[in-house]
Structure 1
Amino acid sequence: MPKQVDHAQRRSEISAAVWQVVSKSGLEGLTLRAVAAAAGCTTGMVTHYFRDKKALIAHARSVMHRRMADRIDAMPRRETAWESLYAVAEQALPLDEERRLEAVVWSHFLLTTRTDPELLHEHTVSHASWVRRLTGLVSAAVPGQPEPSDLEAQVRSLVTCLDGLVLNAVTDPETYPPELQRRVLKTQLNLIVEGNHSL
């Protein structure tokens, strides 16, 4: 009788191998052969689940997005809207090994989208979801007032701050250690929230 293959388990193993390769070699080193070697299987097995390098890249990005979303959804309820906003925004920062690897994948993926319309679409969809989540949190953090007229600009400034922190922390972690990342994020959030309270 043929051996039953657990496709979900096999795909999970290959997915973990994708992350392992990106962590060590970046997206430029992400090849079907490298993933097969990391997963301990044949290249043919990898292509059964992922047709080419682009599929591997897109999958790595989607896993990164899902992992971050799962962490956010599992977080306990915070006492204040500001604390909720901070807790969610902080998940984007490379403050530990798991998030550092996610940040590496994200930064490599972002550069790849410049020349690939399909991957750019993947980025646009997930980025829009992230902006919507932050928009609701920023709006809630300014209670008792009408929605700020420049809410979109404030959220974009927060996103830009986060993106800049991620890129700098990935490329120069000694200059941008976790404590500095947290301090910069808190400063940015206070500028947004306290600035609205002063209106």
Structure 2
Amino acid sequence: MPKQVEHEERRATISQAVWQVVSDSGLEGLTLRAVAAAAGCTTGMVTHYFSDKKKLLAHARTEMHRRMAARIDTLPVAASARDTLYAVAEQALPLDRERHLEAIVWSQFLLTTRHDPALLAEHTRSHASWIRRLTGLVRAASPARTEPGLLDDRVRSLVACLDGLALNAVTDPNAYPADLQRRVLQTQLDLILEGNPSK
């Protein structure tokens, strides 16, 4: 196995272990030793790639963003611009185990950004990328030309809906099952895409 590929696989394995530790024990349980145990490796192996807890969490957040982007890039061609927007937006919801873990890591990461400029910068970059992607999709799905200010308002309201659903679904999953999340997303699209209701 090429050395670079081996390194990337180890980093990905450690990132997955970070997600699992955060899911099981929260940020307070995120230690190098706990991640090593979850990854099935030594603490020394973990510190070889990530020197501290902040770097572990930052890499896991970056890996989460990469995986979500990869899922979006491989979505099948949808029948309409609205269907494309829905399929992409749905990737931000914790509808299965992988996305549930991602939402937990994202929510924990978000809390830490309040006191860490480096993590805040990472969040700002990722969030801006997500806004740009959704802006293009909302523009394409809107029935008529939308003024830039109104378009931005619609995109931000969609993001707020997705973030709220994700946070509530990982906090109280029984109250926010997958079918409810999907219905709320459809309703939100009806609200922001004036004159283009779901069928």
Q: How far, CA to CA, are the matches of 1:141 and 1:89 in structure 2?
A: 13
Aligned to 2:154: 154
When normalised by structure 1's length, the TM-score is: 0.91
Query: How far does the alpha carbon of each residue in 1:98-136 deviate from its partner, in whole angstroms, 9 at most, with x for none?
Result: 111111111111111111111011100000000000000
Unaligned runs of 5+ in 2: none
Query: How far does the alpha carbon of each residue in 1:153-199 deviate from its partner, in whole angstroms, 9 at most, with x for none?
Result: 110011001111111111011111111111111001011112589xx
Aligned to 2:61: 61
Runs of 4+ in 1 over 3 A off after TM superposition: none
Aligned to 1:169: 169
Q: How far, CA to CA, are the matches of 2:12 and 2:158 in structure 1?
A: 33
User: What is the root-mean-square deviation in Å for CA atoms of aligned residues?
Assistant: 1.7
Rg larger for: 1
Q: How far, CA to CA, are the matches of 1:79 and 1:148 in structure 2?
A: 25
Aligned to 2:128: 128
Q: Percent identity?
A: 72
When normalised by structure 2's length, the TM-score is: 0.91
Q: How far, CA to CA, are the matches of 2:43 and 2:191 in structure 1?
A: 51
User: Counterparts in 2 of 1:39-118, with a 5 A limit?
Assistant: 39-118=39-118
Note the C-alpha offset of 1:21. Answer: 1.2
Note the C-alpha offset of 1:58. Answer: 0.1
Letter of the structure 2 residue corresponding to residue 148 of structure 1: E
Deviates more, 1:23-32 or 1:179-188: 23-32
Query: Is the Cα–Cα contact under 8 Å of residues 139 and 145 in structure 2 kept in the other structure?
Result: no
- The number of residues matched between the two structures is 193
Q: How far, CA to CA, are the matches of 1:196 and 1:179 in structure 2?
A: 22
